Chains A and B, each alone.
Chain A
Amino acid sequence: MSKDLHNIDDLFKKAFEEHEELPSDQVWENIDKSLDKRKVVSIAKKYNKLKWAATVLLLFSVGMAMYTLHIHNKNNELVKQNNTESKFKSKRSETTNTLKDDSNLTTMNNAIIAKESPENRLDNKQNVADQKNIKTGKTPLIEKNKINNISAIKREVGEGQLSNTVNKQPKTESHVPSNKIKNSVQDKVDTKLEAIKEERKSSQMPGKFKIQLIETGDNKTTSEDKKSLENLNQESDLPEEKYLNKVPFIVMQGELTESGNIEPFSPILKMDLVANVPLKNGVSNNTTAISKTIHLSKGKTSSFSLTAFFSPDFVSSDLKNDQPRFREDDRNKFEQEESFKFSSTVGLLVDYGIAKRWKLESGITYSTRVTDIQPKTIYARPDNNGNINYRFNCSAGYSFVTLDAAPPPVSGDSIMTLPSTNTLHYIGVPLVIKYVFTNGRFSLVPGLGIAANFLTQGKLQTSIATSTGNKTSTSNNIEGLKSTYFNGSASMGAQYKLNNSVEFTFVPTMRFALSSINRNAPVKTNESSFGLAGGVMVNF
């Protein structure tokens, strides 16, 4: 019998292996019609890709334009510096004569700097006033000692001495001994730095002196000094006369390190080390022009900052019928049944200053979306492998629910579910370009960007009432959910500067879909959200 049965198997196998049959032409016609319907969808998808590509191109172009502008501005500044340096050098020959007293030296400095900086030129009245002050002996005069190089100054300034001592100095008039003759601008620069040191030692220099770039992290400066410097930097577009009525300080293109050493930024800038501004109360009247030094250093902000934030989000979704195959695959049903329960985003962002007021921001975010789904009827449908199971549809996609104890369903069978939950988790990588408007401690920061969102988990949890009680089914595999989707963002952030290092941020952000979160699902879902991000920014 066994052999007979084997023969039967063999008989049919051989008969069917090579045999071929052709169906009627109607079959291909029907397939052709069905493919036409799907083609409409694929065209829509193609346009989505184009939209995405256009957005990336636009943002890239903006970024490149900003970068080019930044480089261009920097080059211009360097050219100006070089010009200044060359002019200083040309003046060297003119200044080789002996400067017999402090007044002479100061006057010469005024003349030189005023000439070198057409945009910062002092008006005649101010110069006249300066000269009067000099004559009446109110001008703080420059120490004559010659220091041959900047490093020598650095050694002499010493750790922590400058700021502390400067801030403690009384606002009294001073007398500085006469200088010896200097025969180069470099010498004058060096001399002035030495003068600062000497005057600080003797406590005879009126007013306070500051090193520019206080905001680089010098903890020894007072908040008043910092505020004054901030204001000065912000008002750099005002006429020079207004500068001159601001706080007294010595501008220096360099950085005061924590150890108290002076670190000039570059060899070129070493030539621009000096500029004294009169005290507001008129005690000090050394009125050397501010020149370019302020202009160059103003607005120089931290290159990097780190922001930690949390944002409750208000999400809305736009549903379009994509591939509805069954009666329950209609977007109107999803819209009626689903509502967002909770949504939030947390993240860590890094800002990088690419130009004076422009920043580029990126980082990492983690977002959670929880959707409540009302009780609904689900139907048994074939899965991709041809097996029949109850299919649970939602706006994110669909999942198959298996009931262990129940008999296998037949296609078309239905069952009622209890309230269900759909949870999606994404890790996002944003890229935002921001522009900073600053007013005192407050800044307004509009931004525009894109973000790539990577699915980390898609979960569908439902319960089904059976005769033996409620059975909960959880699926971590939502069919149709894309692993990545993209969104654009527009934000209007507000920042409050607590101190030089820490700022509070509040950033209302509108995120809009550039691509849908799913495909090959009954509906295509585009998510938009409005987030109110609050956080703390640390400047480096």
Chain B
Amino acid sequence: MYKASTLQELESLEQLDRLIEGCLNGNRQAQNDLYKLLVPKMFMVCLRYSNNRNDAEEILQEGFIRVFEFLHQYKFSGSFEGWVRKIMVNCALQKFRSKSNMHAVVDIEAIAVEQKSSEDIIAHLGTKELLRMVQQLSPGYRTIFNLYVLEGMKHREIAEQLGISEGTSKSNLSDARAILQRAVNASMKSAKQNVNEI
């Protein structure tokens, strides 16, 4: 029987390998435990790449099926979480390609940014509000923003992955940032007004 604890604990105790081997042997309990361990973080990844929960769940489902299908290809070296995350991102990109609209043109106004720390903004708005902002971006902007900012990919790599030019990737990222900045400011203003009214 596999006892699920935190992923870090499992990795440090080298129990993760046994859990993976259990999955490779077709042990359903091991597969369920592995799913439970990974799903909170992986679902967050899927949410970032989609604009609603249903789409995110579809990506998550396809991603985990692939994880179990290609688990034998995992070399037991490097971060297992990173390997699973990559599969989730690839599934998200696959979904994105089928609904691709990479060249959406959005008017970006010059935005005056109020200087506040990240912690303050997160405290004021909450992660769910920030997630909603990302989800409201167009698929192209959202994907490039995720790949560049959150996955740490270079524009050249993004261009290769998505089949676009580096210039397009850069301009899309710039637009995405500007939209998000404006959205954050708007939310902050709204939050302040609410506080003042109270």
Q: Does A234 contact B (CB under 8 A)?
A: no
CA distance A20 to B42 in the complex (A): 8
Please, which residue of chain B has its CB at the minimum distance from the CB of A26? Answer: B57
Hey, which chain A residues are within 8 Å of B174, CB to CB?
5
Please, which residue of chain B has its CB at the minimum distance from the CB of A30? Answer: B61
Given A35-B28, A39-B26, A382-B61 contact (CB < 8 Å): no
CA distance A242 to B99 in the complex (A): 93
CA distance A4 to B115 in the complex (A): 8
Cβ B97 vs Cβ A9 within 8 A: no
Please, which residue of chain B has its CB at the minimum distance from the CB of A17? Answer: B150
Q: Does A385 contact B (CB under 8 A)?
A: yes
Cβ A16 vs Cβ B127 within 8 A: yes
Given A4-B181, A11-B122, A30-B61, A16-B130 contact (CB < 8 Å): yes
Cβ A23 vs Cβ B53 within 8 A: yes
Hey, which chain B residues are within 8 Å of A388, CB to CB?
94, 97
Hey, which chain A residues are within 8 Å of B150, CB to CB?
12-13, 16
Cβ A15 vs Cβ B177 within 8 A: no
Cβ B118 vs Cβ A28 within 8 A: no
Q: Does B186 contact A (CB under 8 A)?
A: no
Partner of A14, one of B97, B122, B181: B122
Cβ A410 vs Cβ B98 within 8 A: yes
Interface residues on A, range: 35 or more
Interface residues on B, range: 35 or more
Cβ A5 vs Cβ B177 within 8 A: yes
Given A31-B64, A386-B93, A410-B100, A23-B43 contact (CB < 8 Å): yes
Hey, which chain B residues are within 8 Å of A20, CB to CB?
40-41, 43-44
CA distance A28 to B56 in the complex (A): 13
Cβ B98 vs Cβ A412 within 8 A: yes
Partner of A8, one of B39, B119, B180: B180
Q: Does A408 contact B (CB under 8 A)?
A: yes
Partner of A34, one of B43, B65, B130, B184: B65
Partner of B130, one of A11, A28, A42: A11
Q: Does A19 contact B (CB under 8 A)?
A: yes
Partner of B184, one of A11, A35, A38, A412: A11
Q: Does B113 contact A (CB under 8 A)?
A: yes
Hey, which chain A residues are within 8 Å of B20, CB to CB?
none
Partner of A10, one of B57, B93, B118, B145: B118
For A392-427 the 0/1 string (1 means CB < 8 A from B) is 000000000000000110111000000000000000
Hey, which chain B residues are within 8 Å of A456, CB to CB?
none
Q: Does B153 contact A (CB under 8 A)?
A: no
Cβ B180 vs Cβ A385 within 8 A: no
B50–chain A nearest beta-carbon distance, Å: 12
For B14-55 the 0/1 string (1 means CB < 8 A from A) is 000000000000101001100100011101100110000100
CA distance A387 to B69 in the complex (A): 17
Hey, which chain B residues are within 8 Å of A136, CB to CB?
none
Please, which residue of chain B has its CB at the minimum distance from the CB of A42? Answer: B26
CA distance A28 to B35 in the complex (A): 8
Q: Which of A254-305 contact B (CB under 8 A)?
A: none
Main secondary structure on A side of the interface with B: helix
Partner of B65, one of A15, A31, A384: A31
Q: Does B191 contact A (CB under 8 A)?
A: no
Cβ A22 vs Cβ B39 within 8 A: yes
Q: Does A21 contact B (CB under 8 A)?
A: yes
Please, which residue of chain A has its CB at the minimum distance from the CB of B178? Answer: A5
Please, which residue of chain A has its CB at the minimum distance from the CB of B133? Answer: A12
Q: Does A472 contact B (CB under 8 A)?
A: no
Q: Does A32 contact B (CB under 8 A)?
A: yes
Partner of B91, one of A10, A22, A386: A386
Cβ A16 vs Cβ B48 within 8 A: yes
Given A14-B118, A386-B93, A386-B94, A21-B43 contact (CB < 8 Å): yes
Cβ B121 vs Cβ A11 within 8 A: yes
Hey, which chain A residues are within 8 Å of B65, CB to CB?
31, 34-35
Hey, which chain B residues are within 8 Å of A386, CB to CB?
87, 89-91, 93-94
Hey, which chain B residues are within 8 Å of A38, CB to CB?
68-69
CA distance A15 to B149 in the complex (A): 12
Cβ B130 vs Cβ A12 within 8 A: yes
Given A4-B181, A23-B39, A9-B44 contact (CB < 8 Å): no
A422–chain B nearest beta-carbon distance, Å: 24
Q: Does B131 contact A (CB under 8 A)?
A: yes
Q: Does B83 contact A (CB under 8 A)?
A: no
Hey, which chain B residues are within 8 Å of A27, CB to CB?
39, 57, 60-61, 64
Q: Does A468 contact B (CB under 8 A)?
A: no
Cβ B127 vs Cβ A15 within 8 A: yes
Please, which residue of chain B has its CB at the minimum distance from the CB of A7? Answer: B118
Q: Does A24 contact B (CB under 8 A)?
A: yes
Q: Which of A409-464 contact B (CB under 8 A)?
A: 410-412
Please, which residue of chain B has its CB at the minimum distance from the CB of A10? Answer: B118
Hey, which chain B residues are within 8 Å of A23, CB to CB?
39, 43, 53, 56-57, 60
Partner of A28, one of B32, B91, B119, B163: B32
Q: Which of B100-119 contact A (CB under 8 A)?
A: 100, 113, 115, 118-119
Hey, which chain B residues are within 8 Å of A16, CB to CB?
44, 48, 127, 130-131, 150
23 A-B pairs with CB atoms under 8 Å apart are A7-B118, A8-B184, A9-B149, A11-B121, A12-B134, A14-B119, A15-B127, A15-B131, A21-B43, A22-B39, A22-B40, A27-B57, A28-B35, A31-B35, A31-B61, A32-B32, A35-B28, A35-B65, A35-B68, A39-B26, A410-B98, A410-B100, A412-B98
**Besides A13-B150, A38-B68, A385-B90, 7 other CB < 8 A contacts?**
A11-B118, A16-B130, A28-B39, A30-B61, A386-B90, A410-B97, A410-B100
6 closest A-B pairs (Cβ-Cβ)? Answer: A386-B90, A20-B40, A408-B163, A11-B118, A4-B113, A19-B127
